[in-house]
Chain A
Amino acid sequence: MKFTNSPLLSQLLPAWRARFVAALILLAFGTLAARSVWLQAVHNDFLQQKGESRYARVIEMPATRGRITDRSGDMLAVSTPVKSVWAIPEDARLAPAQARELAALLEMDVRELNRRLAAEKDFVFVKRQIPPDVAERIGALGLPGIHQSREYRRYYPAGEVTSHMLGFTGVEDRGQEGIELAFEGQLAGKPGSRRVIKDRRGRIVEDVESIKPPQDGKDITLALDAKVQYLAFTHLKQALAEHKAKAGGVVVLDARTGEVLALANLPAYNPNNRVRLSGAQLRNRALTDVFEPGSTLKPFTAALALEKGRFRFDSQIQTAPGRLTIGNATIHDAHPHGLLTLAQVIQKSSNVGVAKIAATFSPEEMWRMFDDIGFGQPIRLGFPGEVGGRLRPFKTWRPIEQATMSYGHGISVTLMQLARAYLVFARDGDLIPLSLTRLDSPPVAGKSIFSSQTARELRAMLEMAVQPGGTAPKAQIPGYRVAGKTGTAHKLEGGQYADRYVAAFVGFAPVSEPRLVVAVMIDEPGNGKYYGGEVAAPVFAQVMAGSLRTLGVAPDAPLKPVQVAREAAAVPESL
């Protein structure tokens, strides 16, 4: 039977069925149209965003860390980009030859490299902070799974000379010690980011929106003078080698402004290569280690005596027979002297003389003076680990303790505190705050501690101490008038004074118009000599002489033999 003859075809369908199907199709079209209107016109952000994310990228814009320069603009710390090599261990399937090549370029052991690549992690650093030229050669190898990223590395051209002053940054370019930590807030930059559209070749064709511009860290100009710092460091190093000493420190301050021109400690370390670092190397001794300053404190006792009007410059004090018994303890002089004037007590550094002077003060008077010149409290320069030393409350002082404190025992200070305290004599009796950064204008007069008359008289006494008959003739410098005071203190070990010493010298020059204060501390000289005048004074003289010459300070004493060319005499009349 033919299909066309099928009886089924002759049966008519009801008309509503056709209409029903047509309506269904229309409805489907309508839904599609509504959906497309919804997507294209009303709710279009979502799709646009999705589309954009296929070719738009957020790019990190790294910010560089600020540079650190010395007062004349010499670079002390600079960040420069380096590459770090990292790997996705799963993708990094290297042939043995490739691994050897990579290890050779990275100066690594092949086994160490393979061990890292075998790690069960998604991301491992193979080696961080490699020089750009090596990075380029590694990139050229085209190894699978090995990638590079840009990082910053900090370089310190002066190396160990500035190590304690500057400190260093960690591998993440964050300050960890010294200035790097103290000024972290200013030095650190804030990385920015931007959204861009890239074409298929990876070129940026358009900024979608500029989100955050990177903020580079601020450069910091220190008060430090690189030349003075170098002098301080090298002379300290020589002295340590010569006297076989354990450690040492030098601080140089500008007496007019309170700027820290140099701060050197030994043992030091090379901040560019910190593979093996010991705690001893890291210690910023001038700020974090306290010592008993010994006789370097005597001038303060003398100044207080002048200030209170109980003694004059030439008041006589009986120091014979070189012993003084207070309670059940006895104070000795290194060499017995007879009747001395106050000035001579300082010049000869008589413990007995100073103890007798101190006995005329109340504990509170003496405590107040020590407190005023900043002992017992940290200077707060912002350095990590700064300490304030020990100054016990005066109510607990026994008479013998007051006597020993007058010559610097039973009290402890840092080298920086001691140097700062001597600013009082180098200036006209006022104490100014210290500054690590270069000051554009000298600070206004600080807190007055002594009268200018007292300061002047102390300068004369301290000048006597470095002249023949004093304790430190080795602190003299040709061409300049120098003043200063030695200190030789027994070290405290487990509450007992041991036969180990700290030799110190603090002084300033030129006396006619003091410009620099230099403090030197040498810990445990072990080569026979241990007196401050023998060990620390020569370092002071070398650093002071070099610094005065570097800074162009006019000599205030005749050079021997005198050679002065007067301009008027040197130019013939006929010209």
Chain B
Amino acid sequence: MLRLNFLLIAIVLASALGAVASQHKARKLFSELEREQERMRSLEVEWGQLQLEQSTWAAHARIEKIARERLRMKPPAAGQVLAVEAAK
């Protein structure tokens, strides 16, 4: 009888410790998940900012200015245009 009681106490203790350990593990994993989600959000924000930056650099006004002033480009005059027709 006494031996059985000791055995039961051991089992209960083991299961209690197991519960504690798994709870701890779950929380660690959860906080890791939380961190990754936070990272996802900040990457999304960064993506939006990069898109914004890209469209600011690619603004038509800026491109036109660079093309005209730095690269000295201009639209072709009517006589300089060559139209390519597909063979009929």
Contact = CB atoms under 8 A, between A and B. Distances in A.
A226 B54 CA distance: 14
B4 interface: no
Contacts of A203: 31, 34
A46 B48 CA distance: 45
A568 interface: yes
Given A205-B31, A567-B84, A559 B79 contact: yes
Contact of B83 (A64, A207, A560, A563): A563
B51 interface: yes
A567 B86 CA distance: 6
B81 interface: yes
Contacts of B61: 159, 161, 230, 234
A549 to B, nearest CB: 8
Contacts of B55: 74-76, 78, 157-158
A230 B27 contact: no
Given A157-B56, A204-B31, A565-B84, 19 more contacts: A64-B48, A76-B55, A78-B52, A78-B55, A80-B52, A155-B52, A161-B60, A205-B31, A230-B60, A478-B81, A479-B81, A560-B78, A563-B82, A564-B82, A564-B85, A565-B82, A565-B85, A566-B85, A568-B87
Given A158-B59, A203-B31, A204-B34, A78 B85 contact: no
Interface of A: 64, 67, 74-76, 78-81, 155, 157-159, 161, 203-207, 226-227, 230, 234, 478-479, 555, 559-561, 563-568
Interface of A is mostly: mixed
B49 interface: yes
B51 A204 contact: no
Given A80-B48, A204-B34, A560-B78, A567 B87 contact: yes
Contacts, number: 83
A249 to B, nearest CB: 19
A80 B54 CA distance: 14
A226 B45 contact: no
Interface string B35-58: 000000000110011011011101
A563 to B, nearest CB: 5
B26 to A, nearest CB: 8
Given A157-B55, A560-B79, A206 B45 contact: no
Contact of B49 (A80, A226, A560): A80
Contacts of B78: 478-479, 559-560
Contacts of B87: 566-568
Nearest to A566: B85
Nearest to A158: B59
A565 B30 contact: no
| Across the A-B interface, the 10 shortest Cβ-Cβ residue pairs | A478-B78, A157-B55, A230-B60, A567-B87, A75-B55, A205-B27, A568-B87, A157-B56, A78-B52, A563-B82
Contacts of A559: 78-79, 81, 83
Contacts of A155: 52
Interface residues of B, number: 27
A558 to B, nearest CB: 9
A563 B82 CA distance: 5
A206 B27 contact: yes
A203 B37 CA distance: 13
A205 B23 CA distance: 10
A555 B78 CA distance: 12
A207 B86 CA distance: 65
A226 B45 CA distance: 24
Given A75-B51, A81-B45, A227 B83 contact: no
Contacts of A80: 45, 48-49, 52
A563 B81 contact: yes
Nearest to A545: B75
Nearest to A76: B55
A78 B48 CA distance: 7
A238 to B, nearest CB: 12
A563 B81 CA distance: 7
B45 A563 contact: no
B79 A204 contact: no
Q: Which of A79, A205, A568 has the most CB of B within 10 A?
A: A205
A563 B48 contact: no
A130 to B, nearest CB: 15
B46 to A, nearest CB: 9
A205 B85 CA distance: 68
A154 to B, nearest CB: 10
Interface string B58-88: 1111001000000000000011011111110
